[in-house]
Amino acid sequence: MKRTTTRLADGRELIYYDAADDAGHAVRDSPDRRPLPTVRAAGAEIRHDPLLDERVGYAAHRQTRTYHPPADQCPLCPSRGEQLSEIPADSYQVAVFENRFPSFSGTSGRCEVVCFTSEHDASFASLTEEQAALVLHAWTDRTAELSRLPGVTQVYCFENRGAEIGVTLGHPHGQIYGYPFVTPFTRRALRSVADHKARTGANLYDERLAAERADGRRIVLETAHWTAFVPHAARWPYEVHLYPRRRVPDLIGLGPEEQAEFPGVYLELLRRFDRIFGPEAPPTPYISGWHQAPFGIEAREDFALHLELFTIRRSPGKLKYLAGSESGMGAFVNDVLPEAAADRLREVASR
């Protein structure tokens, strides 16, 4: 695989990823021709809530970000003719660039956009295994690169898919957040893992995975190196967690066999999600993201890398809204039993 790095007109970094080592982009022949001013994340700041001990980011400049442009003005498609986009080349396989409207930037983190393919009407589920492997390579490479930035504490590679989720660009893409702090969900998980280890001497992630495998009712699929299951206490109507069988703290820790097996497993999960509600239903909206260990913390090796995939659709034409209990108190009430969700996800397996 090959990585080619260049700069956009306003100085933001752009990286192309190609499957073949001998592939290349004529960077000098495809400069960004747009008259862009140098990017400034004006007004961005992070404040601390002492009562909840959580940090909240403010990014007022994002109010002007691109919102549902027509397909022929997509900023993530290749630049062709006079239709200029964020990708100055006329073709690409996977491209990553600094977000023009970042939530975090400079010495306080970094935000990047990941374009999974140049095909506007594709989806991650429609990629080939080779293409999915290239995206995994990009996620891993960016995690390693961002880990070396002084303003980054934790890296989250994720995809929001579907207008119901709030996606404003239809092109298949995801994002990478380099947070300047440890996120609230991760802090809570690390605290639980530490408490469990102090009480029992065992790893909570290992015991959770072993318990799901032993129970079996919520296992969605298993391979030699990966296990996908609906958690015993799933919050979302259809929620799947995907773990490597060997505990590693982040994507960088995956070995060659785990990397090679991932594309087939992940594509199968995404394709099952699109079949949950029947052949006539529109594509299933979802959020998918990698939970990785923060950098520079004690007991980092106790954290277990895993991917979380869930949808807010609870039945055909109906969404799971976070209303009073969930939004106001953080107390979830699910409409679908985890065992029923796992049954359905096994029913729609590829034949």
| Full DSSP string of 317-347 | TEE----IIIIIH-----SS-HHHHHHHHHH
List beta partners, residue 4: 16
* Helical H segments across the chain, by residue range: 129-147, 184-200, 204-215, 256-273, 329, 338-347
201: burial class by Cβ within 10 Å (0-12, 13-18, 19+)?
exposed
The verdict on whether 173 is a catalytic residue reads yes
Q: Per the structure block, which two tokens stand in for 240?
A: 């799947």
CA atoms within 13 A on the CB side of 117: 17
Among candidate residues 173, 241, 291, 306, the one labeled active-site is: 173
Judge whether 193 and 205 are in contact, CB under 8 Å.
yes
Q: Within 10 A of 52 (CB to CB), how many other CB atoms are there?
A: 10
Judge whether 42 and 25 are in contact, CB under 8 Å.
no
For residues 127 and 149, what is the distance between their CA atoms, to the nearest angstrom? 31
Catalytically active residues are 173
